[in-house]
Amino acid sequence: MPENPLNRPVRILHLEDSRVDHALVKFALQRSGLQHDILLVDTLDDFGREVTSGRYDIVLADYHLPGFSGLDAWDRMVELRVDLPFVILSGAIGEAAAVEAIHRGVSDYVLKDNISRVAHVIERAIEVSETRRAKARADADLAESRRRLAELAEHLQTSIEQERADIAREIHDDIGGSLAAVKLDLAWIARRPALDPDVRQHMDTALEMLQHALGASQRIMMNLRPPILDQGLVAAVQWLGGGFEKRTGVRVSVRRSADQIDVPRPVQLVAYRCAQEALTNVSKHAPQATQVDIDLSDREGVLTLEVSDNGQGLSAEALRKAKSFGLLGLQERAAKVGGWLDISSSARGTSVILSVPLDGVTATEPETEGANHHNNDRTRDSQQ
Ligand SMILES: Nc1ncnc2c1ncn2[C@@H]1O[C@H](COP(=O)(O)OP(=O)(O)OP(=O)(O)O)[C@@H](O)[C@H]1O
Ligand SMILES: [Mg+2]
């Protein structure tokens, strides 16, 4: 007995002008034991009405009908946007017609001489169609969840940048402002004549600490929302490289195609964050590195930023680490401005290359990243 993939009687729409053939089909189905309900129609109009009713699981159609063919019925069904498995059941239709039918998308065909196979063919056609629909559903779900994930990533980036800007502003207004006021007061006291030497010594230490705190709050502000970006990408990347060299002792050389590279603010921010993340990665993951080369170019209408180190390189697995989001986040950011990220690695080190075609990137300057909606799925990784 055929296994019914639907777990309920199969609802069959039978398009056939011969009552005898219809009876033969019913007989063959009964003998097979396939649970079914079957309805007979013999005109194209009746077929069109029934097939759109949503009451059927499959169509079984004769090929030669009075005034039309099984393929006309198929075309009508496609026209009506009904997606049902469709099996042609006919006397000899010839190989060319059979190939044509399958080519157009008909599920299968059975020769009337071979009518005992009909239940099996029905069962298989339904199974194939169910699998295809399940795959289409899964593909649609996957595409939707990818879209939502990209949206979430964009939202997170925007929130992070906004938060950074807010914190930087608060440090500037509250902490920076208060520290500057205290400094003025202390300096005023320090200028008093005949100050007790003990008091003066404490005053000097306090001023020193204050200077340190002011420096620290400025440094934190720079990291949160680098005003250096206002001086252009080249200056900002050089500033990043210089700070990195000072902190880590790793030599950084910056090469650029021009002293001033003007790109829209969103692209500038993506490039800056890319250089920042790549440098942080060198200090975290490439302890043997002694040299970092940063190449910045806007030749041929494409902004490229390449950060290469001479550390030990990285493996393909490294890029799939569950809790590593740095490079992944950069890929999302790059895609948002119409660019992509390449990561290449060898025993001689790692290179992170950001490329952003500049035509078509809007020159508007949103306050935060992510406000520029350029979708591009050219993001890719490459392992060499
Ligand atoms: N310059 C590099 N040299 C060697 N390995 C690297 C380098 N950059 C990244 N990696 C490897 O690639 C992994 C992924 O880097 P990624 O920046 O995405 O994440 P992370 O630095 O581990 O964490 P996060 O950036 O989220 O704080 C790292 O964990 C590291 O193993
Ligand atoms: Mg990282």
CATH number, domain with residue 39 = 3.40.50.2300
Average pLDDT on 354-360 reads 89
Average pLDDT on 250-260 reads 94
Does 376 fall in a domain? Answer: yes
Whether 321 lines ligand 1, by a CB cut-off of 6 Å, is yes
Whether 292 lines ligand 1, by a CB cut-off of 6 Å, is no
- In the structure, ligand 2 is a single-atom ion and the residues with CB under 5 Å from it are 281, 326
Atom of ligand 1 at shortest distance to CA of 329? Answer: 18
Whether 286 lines ligand 1, by a CB cut-off of 6 Å, is yes
Whether 241 lines ligand 1, by a CB cut-off of 6 Å, is no
Quick one: which of 296, 215, 284, 223 has its CA closest to 250? Answer: 284
pLDDT in tens, 82-127: 999 999 998 877 778 888 888 999 999 898 888 999 999 999 999 9
Both tokens assigned to 191: 């200028």
CA 323 / ligand 2 centre spacing (Å): 10
CATH of the domain at 322: 3.30.565.10
pLDDT at 243 > cutoff 50 = yes
Could you say which of 136, 161, 193 is where a domain stops? Answer: 136
pLDDT at 370 > cutoff 80 = no
Does 221 fall in a domain? Answer: no
pLDDT at 219: 84
Determine which helix (DSSP H) or strand (DSSP E) holds 190, and give its type and residue range: helix 177-190
Could you say which of 113, 136, 159 is where a domain stops? Answer: 136
CA 241 / ligand 1 centre spacing (Å): 18
Look at the alpha carbons of 103, 106, 112, 118 in this order and tell me if their dihedral is positive or negative: positive
By the 8 A CB rule, do 296 and 256 touch? yes
pLDDT at 364 > cutoff 50 = no
pLDDT at 286 > cutoff 60 = yes
Look-up: residue for tokens 């300096």?
187
Average pLDDT on 336-343 reads 94
Atom of ligand 1 at shortest distance to CA of 284? Answer: 21
Q: Do residue 132 and residue 256 come from a single domain?
A: no
* Angle, helix 177-190 to helix 197-224, in steps of 10 degrees: 160
Look-up: residue for tokens 């056609």?
125
Look-up: residue for tokens 């990665």?
281
CA 189 / ligand 1 centre spacing (Å): 51
pLDDT at 369: 41
Strands (DSSP E) found in the chain: 10-15, 36-41, 58-61, 64-65, 68-69, 86-90, 108-111, 251-256, 291-297, 302-309, 340-346, 349-357
Whether 322 lines ligand 1, by a CB cut-off of 6 Å, is no
Average pLDDT, whole number, for the chain? 87
CA 119 / ligand 2 centre spacing (Å): 59
Whether 284 lines ligand 1, by a CB cut-off of 6 Å, is yes
Whether 306 lines ligand 1, by a CB cut-off of 6 Å, is no
CA–CA dist 365, 347 (Å, integer) = 40
Does 149 fall in a domain? Answer: no
The pTM of the full predicted model, rounded to 2 decimals, is 0.59
Q: Where in the sequence is the domain holding 25, given as residue range(s)?
A: 10-136
pLDDT at 182: 92
Does 141 fall in a domain? Answer: no
